[in-house]
Structure 1
Amino acid sequence: MEIKPKFGYDKLLFGMKQKDAEAIYGKANHTFKDEEDNFIMMYNALKARLTFYAEEDFKLGYIIISNPNAILFGEKIIGKNANESKEFLSKKGLKSFEVETFDSFSNLFNEDFWTVLQTEFDEVVKVEIGAVIKNEDEFDWKF
């Protein structure tokens, strides 16, 4: 399953609706609304959490992935050393990362690709990708 920054994950594209995701993967294992009224779908087999933005007519705008078989730019990323991952991604165009640390976790965030590597114990444990903004207030939907 391929992580595609700016586009989506596996067969999912940013801009899809809940019904589009269900047409591909069936009913989610768990659904709920978050504190901002966004609709969340969780798929155990994908090891992914999908966020459909309430303010954007419930379009898919954010994905959190913890699947150890997920591929990013041709390589598995979950379980990879954090510094090696930064070097690898730098060669793929993700040049700079803002680092935020809390408890035992660090988030390495690249704004241009709206990609977050969440690390713990210097190892990537999750990848978060979001739809990017193409101008000041409009998302670059891919679906």
Structure 2
Amino acid sequence: MRNLDFSHLYSNAVGFERMARELEGLFEQKTAAYPPYNIKKRDQDGYRITVAVAGFEREELALETENGTLKVKGRKGAAAGERQFLHQGIAERDFELAFKLSQHVEVQGAKLEHGLLTIDLARELPEALKPRAIHIGKPDPLALPG
């Protein structure tokens, strides 16, 4: 993987140095090999994580958020270990993935379909943080100067 440099962000982003360092760290970390997943941007404020969970039933999967981290867990039941395979090409081992969520990113929902777990996320800024126009009024002619 090529080395990505985010130092150019520091000159234009006051107070975001920590975020830029975290971005650099994310690209330097090796991604988990199992299960494979995709992260894509749906629209301006939406994201979708798709995890390949072939062989897992809905009851064997769990999603939880805590302290800005989304955890996706898969646990196979005891009966899964008792089956005898002539060939097992689909891995069915337990797993746990963790995704660090940015501030104000919330899980909107999840669905399991055709062996793919799809998790929809949206960034929802509180009203106080949304940009707003401020009206510039005319001076009051009756106001006293000074």
The TM-score by the shorter chain falls in which range? under 0.3
TM-score, reference length from structure 1:
0.28
Higher strand share: 1
- TM-score normalised over the length of structure 2: 0.27
Q: Which has the higher contact order (CA 8 A, sep 6+)?
A: 1
* Bigger Rg, which one: 2
